[in-house]
Structure 1
Amino acid sequence: MKLVIFGANGPTGRETTAQAIAEGHTVTAVTRRPEAFPLTDPRLRVAGADVLDPAAVERVLAGQDAVISALGVPYSRNPVTVYSEGITHITRAMTEHGVRRLVCVSSTVLFGVPAPGETFFFRKVLEPAIARTMGRTVYEDMRRMEEIVRDGDHRWTVVRPAGLFDAAAVSDYQVGTARLPGRFTSRADLGNVLLREAVGDRHVRAFVDVRTTEGVPSLLDVIRKEAFGGKKPIPAEKDRTHV
């Protein structure tokens, strides 16, 4: 298939791109800084474009079969619009070029229910603090993005991972249309789900959770590495430098 990946230069975008190339797909990786994109392959085209530029988005979508959006921004107290504006430009360009399949990333927090079996502290203290304080503006815009996707007429799937961490390989992860037990999703597993959904039709017009069950780090380990190491476990990507 011919796939275009927005947010390709973020950790999840690079993982998804690498897996797609390995499976023989033709990939257009969209990033604002194409010179910094680390992957090369005869089946890969790196396109310099900003998702907030509708003309640039339209150019990269010509002739594609499916779209994967791994856009993301860091937590901020300022208003966030990248998700909703970006998906607006993407879906309009998809309609213009007759591209039907869309897969994008939001967050498991948007299920609006606690993770099954979670501790009282995580369910009542930690996650609400993230969702309502640190990540409030990010999740508000994710919600707007989901509404735009849901109300459109494309063949869409929204993937809602939990806190993200790096892993060396794809695992035997869980996928479901309701919130799953567990706190974390590896970027390798998330990339694999995005790819599986983009090339197939298993969860069309559905919100999908994905949870890693093997080799999962402790909450403290993820906080140390992701928060203090420059990556945040939620949302999916660190910043918009990869858009």
Structure 2
Amino acid sequence: MRIAILGANGPTGRLLTEQALAAGHDVVALTRRPDEFPIVHQKLVVAGGDVLDPDAVDPVVDGSEVVLSALGTPFTKEQVEVYSGGGRNTLDAMKRFGTSRFVVVTSGAVTGEPEPTGGFLFNRVLQPYVTNVLGKTVYDDMRRLEELMADSDTDWTVLRPSGLFDLPEVTEYSITAEHGPGRLTSRRDLAAALLLQATDQRFVRKVAHVITTVDNPSLLSMMWREARKK
């Protein structure tokens, strides 16, 4: 299968690319910085370009059977359009080239609903601050992307992870229509869930929540790591 990966040079995108190649797929990876892409493989084509440029998206989608998007962007006060703008360009390209399967990542926080296991501090203080202040423009654009997907005639799936962290291996993660047990998702599990959607039909034209149920770091340790990032 030929798989197009958007946001391939991000933390999740690299893991997704590795997993897709290990599974024997042909991969075309779109990144704005192709010279920095660390993966080399005989079944990999690295394409340089921005998802906000339709001319860059077209050759990546052309000939691909599935498009998997691991696009992400840091929190900012500026207007964000990488999710919806990239999604719109991809949907337009898919219509032109007859590609039907499109899987994207947003966040479990886009609904603003309390996390089932979040607790008072997380649900009433931390999450509202992140979604309504710190990451407002990012989450607003994720919602615009979800609306685009729902209105499209593609075989779409939206994956909503929770707070992302790193583990060395894929776990037996939870992927469910309703929010699963826990508030964190490892990037390897998210990549595995993305790749699974290339062949799994359970969540076509649906939203799915991806949750890592083992080896979760504490909330305080995650906050400390985020605070130390430059």
> Normalized against structure 1, the TM-score is what?
0.92
Alignment correspondent of 1:162: 162
CA distance in 1, matches of 2:66, 2:130: 32
Deviation of 1:226 after TM superposition, in Å, equals 3.2
Aligned equivalent of 2:42: 42
Tell me the distance in 1 between the aligned counterparts of 2:129 and 2:181: 19
Give the unaligned 5+ runs of structure 2.
none
Residue identity over aligned pairs, in percent, reads 47
Q: Distance in 1 between matches of 2:96 and 2:151?
A: 17
Check the 8 A contact 1:50/1:56 in 2, yes or no.
yes
What is residue 11 of structure 1 aligned with on the other side? 11
Aligned residues: 230
Cα offset for 1:217?
0.6
- Aligned pairs for 1:74-113 (under 5 A) are 74-113=74-113
Q: Determine helix, strand or coil for the equivalent of 1:117.
A: coil
Whole-angstrom CA distance in 1 between matches of 2:14 and 2:71: 12
Match of 2:175 in 1: 175
Partner of residue 131, structure 1: 131
| 3-state SS of 2:5 partner | strand
Provide the secondary structure at the position in 1 that maps to 2:197.
Answer: helix
User: Scaled by the length of structure 2, what TM-score is found?
Assistant: 0.97
Compare relative contact order (CA 8 Å, sep 6+) and give the higher one, 1 or 2. 1
The residue type paired with residue 89 of structure 2 is: H
Measure, in 1, the Cα distance between the counterparts of 2:94 and 2:49.
16
Amino acid at match of 2:155: R
Greater Cα offset, 60-69 or 215-224: 215-224
The residue matched to 1:94 in structure 2 has which SS? helix
Query: SS where residue 80 of structure 1 aligns?
Result: coil
- What amino acid is the match of 2:150? R
Q: Deviations over 1:141-169 (max 9, x none)?
A: 11001101110000000000001011101
Unaligned runs of 5+ in 1: 231-243
Q: Is the 8 A contact 2:80 2:138 kept in 1?
A: yes
Residues 2, 64 of structure 2: 8 Å contact kept: yes
Asked if residue 73 in structure 1 is aligned to residue 73 in structure 2, the reply is: yes
Question: Which runs of at least 4 in structure 1 moved beyond 3 Å after TM superposition?
Answer: none
